[in-house]
Structure 1
């Protein structure tokens, strides 16, 4: 045909050549795509998860909650234990600062800086933690952060020996590395846990933090010397790192393979055929951060943490001043923690059952759980200041903590509904707003109580608890109005 000058012959030859080439190109393209996805498919098969289905489809699934593999159970356990260390390690200093301050003669202001330096470091790493949880291998990032903050926890007594400034720097960097934990945990659960088990997985993740605080509250006061409060958790963090390495070796989730798959995923072609660039990724982050669904999460988290940090900082003082509870009897605050853990576990089981049986949609479940977790504690806080006895006050706190347990299947689980790829980032944006009360709750609450007449008067605590109740109501209304339970990835690219 090359020797022919007839345009019709030339066109006919081109058509025949194209007809031969198309199947060959199609087979080559299919083979290339298959090789690119083989690593992900093999890893997913090993973990016993076939990938996430749309969360709304889970409600229409077959009746009953399907089982999960042992690897998924171990994955949730290790991830949740990291959060147990995360929450427990930060609860050590409020107990240890008492003997440390007595030894060194710290003023109340200096003790406040020792406590607050952690929160300053923690808030600084929220957004970087969310971004890195998307760009880097999740297990590598989580393992590095646990090892780093456990190291800073273990060297706290050494930093104390060198003076106040080294101690403040140690606490600051401990907060920085702890800031990477929860965004990465959220990302791991979103990536690996099947949709029918997500509510239970997030409830276990949430209750593990309560377990860490409870363990520290009960065990640390019994230790003979305050440096042991830091040495023991630091060693446990090192043991966790060893356990994770063994787990990854067994299920063959290699961090190098993860890195390759992450790079492949983030350089995939868009519909127009152009590879994603850094500016595209940055634009996605910006659009996610200002999405109404993410802003709803931020409002709920701000309200929830304003309540939790206020109670964590000041309930011991409130009980001591109002009901004259001695310091060595403060273990009574373990009862609300236990009730909160029970509420979290129960809500996770109930949520997965309700979705599997098709009793409600995912969006209705998220909104109902969030409203319940914020509005019932709002009522409890409004009544707490007028509690006539210690028993009534503890009972009110137990009811508040139990009802707040449903928060784990509300905003926390909602990240997996909105996005797979950027769940760590959306959580970091939410938790950035939630960390603000950690910095302000201490001095602001003290100023309000002193202005209202002093901590020894029950009426002086009314503005504190009432303001937290109002924030809970506002947070619930904003979340119920703006929240979503469908994918927003494509809208934000």
Structure 2
């Protein structure tokens, strides 16, 4: 099939960059506006907005669900939580709910386990989800993952009424269903994202996670106080089911099978990605993957970065409530501000990274390291600052927002590195890195519950110091061992044969 420049989708690219990616002249690139690949990114954006809404709604709803009257600060603690604002000294720690809405006597340890329950299931399906999505395509895995999680979310009030263990099991099942979504996304972009557009398309779709958290946190607080906390789960679950209908109607696994894509765009995508855009077979090079230093650089860095991310995602509403004493509506809104910053920086960083790569200012490796360091180092510094902001609402919210916003820059760094080092196995690799990256989602809420058992400022300061230190370690590890070059074990047989043929021709 000929391209506008006279080449064929089966011909080798005329030029490659130093990381081995094909370079396409800018005047041969179909515009993104109204394109099938941009439509896919937008649908993914809203899909991950729903996904994160389903994930974080319990963090705010927990404040209304739990009756915390049994939790008292330690008598001998030298550092107290902030004083109650004027006029609130005699108010209860619980938040009134409409008549008939139950509240439960869950202490901070039980809440920590409930907030971490999602991730017990989430880590189980990452690797198999990525493997199967890379072989079959990601459309059905991503769509059914969101749909299943949304349907289970509707059952949350019933599970809470049945008991703590039932709710824990339900949240773990939600995580089990949602675990396939990010690997499926990566598997789809391996077939859809031209190398010079990977950063912008990936960060646009992935930034839906931050936007979903930004939207869900204040809405959850508002709904809890006006309709009662059960309505949160009914509304969020319904939104997920509605999105799934649109996804299955408008999305295709591969540009070759898309019914509404233009011929020019289809040929551009297929030609620019090359053999790496095809499904991988049943066998994968497991041993070379396990021995790959760049892959371990991603694993370690994502685990370190996720510690601070999940600490804030699951525990920030509790900090706003127990330490700074925001009411439930303010709590949700102010807890959401950091994710607004992350949404903006994630999206903008992708376009900037693509511009640097397209203009050959830096190599892919340099760009990934630059954006990872620019994200994680300031993020760690601002986290430490939060611990010393004291009871200042303005400083606390400012530092939290800056920390999370800077973390979003890593969306164009380590968080899309799988597509660089092994495009064909990107979904499977994301399953591996996300499985390890999910471990902090389990441990961070539990550790936070342990450190903050007495509801003191000193305990929360420890939480922020630990998160900052882990973040810093991940940044330095990636700077030393990260890479943006395609790995030898990821090169397809077709590419090897082509390389041998070119070498024979040159001699």
Same fold, TM-score > 0.5, yes or no? yes
Partner of 2:465: 466
Give how far 1:306 is off.
0.6
CA 1:358–1:418 in structure 2 vs 1: closer, same or farther (change >3 Å)?
same
Bigger drift between 54-63 and 158-167 goes to: 54-63
1:148 corresponds to:
148
- Give 1:26's aligned residue: none
The one-character-per-residue Cα deviations of 1:336-381 (angstroms, maximum 9, x if unpaired) are 2211111112211211111122211111100010011111111112
Q: How far is the alpha carbon of 1:492 from its aligned partner?
A: 8.7
1:71-108 superposed Cα distances (whole Å, 9 cap, x missing partner): 11111112222222221101111222344445253332
Of 367, 381, 385, which residue of structure 2 is paired with 1:379? 381
Name the CA shift for 1:359/1:60 in 2 (closer, same or farther; >3 Å). Answer: farther
Alpha carbons of 1:396 and 1:460: their partners in 2 closer, same or farther (altered >3 Å)? same
Match of 2:210, SS?
helix
Q: 1:394 aligns with which of 373, 393, 397?
A: 397
For the pair 1:439 / 2:415, whether they are aligned, the reply is: no
> Which whole-Å deviations, capped at 9, do the CAs of 1:213-244 have from their partners, x for residues lacking one?
11111212222132221222222222222212
**Per-residue CA shift, 1:105-128, capped at 9, x if unaligned?**
333254444333212111222222
CA separation in 1, counterparts of 2:369 and 2:22?
A: 15
Displacement of 1:161: 4.4
Specify the structure having the higher radius of gyration (Cα): 1
Q: Tell me the TM-score normalized by structure 2.
A: 0.76
| Preserved contact between residue 145 and residue 177 of structure 1 (Cα < 8 Å) | yes
CA gap 1:289/1:321 in 2 versus in 1, 3 angstroms: same
Q: Comparing 239-248 with 176-185, which one deviates more in the overlay?
A: 239-248
Deviation for aligned residue 1:442: 1.9
Distance in 2 between residues matched to 1:61 and 1:483, nearest whole Å: 26
Which of 52-61 and 67-76 deviates more?
A: 52-61
Q: Distance in 1 between matches of 2:413 and 2:325?
A: 37
- The TM-score normalised by the length of structure 1 is 0.78
Partner SS, residue 360 of structure 1: coil
Give the aligned partner of residue 218 of structure 2.
Answer: 218
Within a 5 Å distance, the mapping from 1:72-111 to structure 2 comes to: 72-102=37-67, 103-108=102-107, 109-111=109-111
Q: Mark the CA change 1:119 to 1:352 in structure 2 (over 3 Å): closer, same or farther.
A: same
Higher helix share: 1
* Aligned residue pairs, count: 422
- Alignment correspondent of 1:258: none
Q: Is the 8 A contact 2:153 2:234 kept in 1?
A: yes
Structure 2 CA distance for aligned equivalents of residues 320 and 481 of structure 1: 40
Q: Sort the Cα spacing of 1:447 and 1:237 in 2 relative to 1 into closer, same or farther, 3 A.
A: closer
Q: Name the SS for the 2:455 alignment partner.
A: coil
Gaps spanning 5+ residues in structure 2: where? 2-8, 68-101, 260-274, 493-507
Gaps of 5+ in 1: 1-33, 35-43, 255-260, 268-277
The one of 406, 414, 425 equivalent to 1:403 is 406
Partner residue in 1 for 2:417? 414
